[in-house]
Amino acid sequence: MRALFNFNFRRMYATYPRLAVVATAYDGERKTALSLVWHTPLSFDPPVYSVSVAPKRFSHDVILRARTFAVHFFPYERAKIVELIGSTSGREVDKFKEFGIKHFMSNLQNPVIEGAYLVLDCEYLDHRLVGDHTLIWGEVKTVYYDPERVELGEDGGLRLRNISPTLYVGDGIYATVSGESLERLRKS
Ligand SMILES: Cc1cc2nc3c(=O)[nH]c(=O)nc-3n(C[C@H](O)[C@H](O)[C@H](O)COP(=O)(O)O)c2cc1C
C-alpha cells in the first residue's frame, strides 16, 4: 500500500460507486430537485434519513425553508433523469417545467417524481454544517413504493424485487448491479 497526503477529495471517485438518488422539496414558492450520492440512513427507530447538500446548491435553502424533503431511488432505466437533475440548477431553470417532470405532491408536500421505485418522505429534524456540505436529516414519515419492483414483506420490510439500482461511478458514468453479481456469503 502507498500513502497519499495531498489528495483531492472532490475527485475521490475511488470511494465510489455510490447509490445515486434525487431529493426534492417545495417551500411554498419553488419546487426543487437535486441529485445526491452523499446520503445515508441514520436511525432505524425512529426512521431517520440524511442528505448532504452543498450550501451553494439552489436546493439547499429551499429544503431548509420547506423543512421537509423526499428522497427518490430510481431504477437504472431512469438514470438519465438523475444525470439531468444533477447537471442543471434550479437557479437557471425550473427543472419540473423545463424537463416536464411528472410528479404529485406527497403527504408532506414534497414533489414525488414518477418512475422512482422508492421514495422516502421526510420531515426535517435538524442540520449541521460539515466542512463544505450541510448534513440535513429528517424523520421518514411515509414511504412510497412501486409494487412492481419493491416487495412488502410480512415483517413490514421492503425489499427490491427486480434489482436495478442506479449507481454513480463518477465523471458522469453510471452503472447498476446485475443478478449474476449477487452471491450469498452468509451461511444461514
Ligand atoms: C450523480 C450526482 C450526484 C451528486 N451528488 C451530490 C451530493 O451528494 N451533494 C450535493 O450537494 N450535490 C451533489 N450533486 C450535484 C447537484 O445535484 C447539482 O449541482 C445540481 O445541479 C444542484 O441543483 P440545484 O442547484 O437546483 O439544487 C450530484 C450530482 C450528480 C450528477
pLDDT per position as a tens digit, 84-116 = 999 999 999 999 999 999 999 999 999 999 999
At residue 178, the pLDDT reads 83
User: Which residues have CB under 8 Å from 29's CB, separation 6+?
Assistant: none
Is-contact 70 122, C-beta < 8 A? Answer: yes
The rounded Å distance from CA 20 to ligand 1 centre is 10
Residue with cell 465510489: 16
Domain presence at residue 159? yes
Pocket test for ligand 1, best of 10, 11, 57 (most atoms within 8 A of CB): 57
83 lines ligand 1 (CB under 6 A): yes
Residue 59 CA, closest ligand 1 atom number: 27
CA angle 186, 187, 188 (to 5 degrees): 100
Give the number of domains in the chain.
1
For strands 167-170 and 18-19, give the pairing: antiparallel
CB 70 within 8 A of CB 25: yes
CATH code of the domain covering residue 49: 2.30.110.10
**CA 53–ligand 1 middle distance (angstroms):** 8
Question: Is there an atom of ligand 1 within 6 Å of 116 CB?
Answer: no
Order of strands across the sheet with 173-175?
A: 18-19, 167-170, 173-175
Q: Is residue 8 part of a domain?
A: no
Is residue 57 in contact with ligand 1, taking CB distance under 6 Å? Answer: yes
Kindly state whether residue 41 falls inside one of the protein's structural domains. Answer: yes
Q: What is the pLDDT of residue 9?
A: 85
Give the residues of the chain that fall short of pLDDT 50: none
In a domain, 4, yes or no: no
Within-domain flag for 20: yes
With a 6 Å cutoff on the Cβ, whether 23 touches ligand 1 is no
Which domain does 115 fall in, by range?
Answer: 16-173
Cβ of 168 closer than 6 Å to ligand 1, yes or no, is: yes
Does ligand 1 lie within 6 Å of residue 35's CB atom? yes
Q: What is the per-residue pLDDT for 170?
A: 95
Instruction: Please indicate, yes or no, if residue 6 is contained in any of the structural domains.
Output: no
| pLDDT of res. 133 | 97
Single pTM value for the model: 0.97
Mutation choice for ligand 1 from 12, 16, 35, 167, CB with most ligand atoms inside 8 A: 35
Any domain includes 185: no
Query: Is residue 1 included in any domain, yes or no?
Result: no
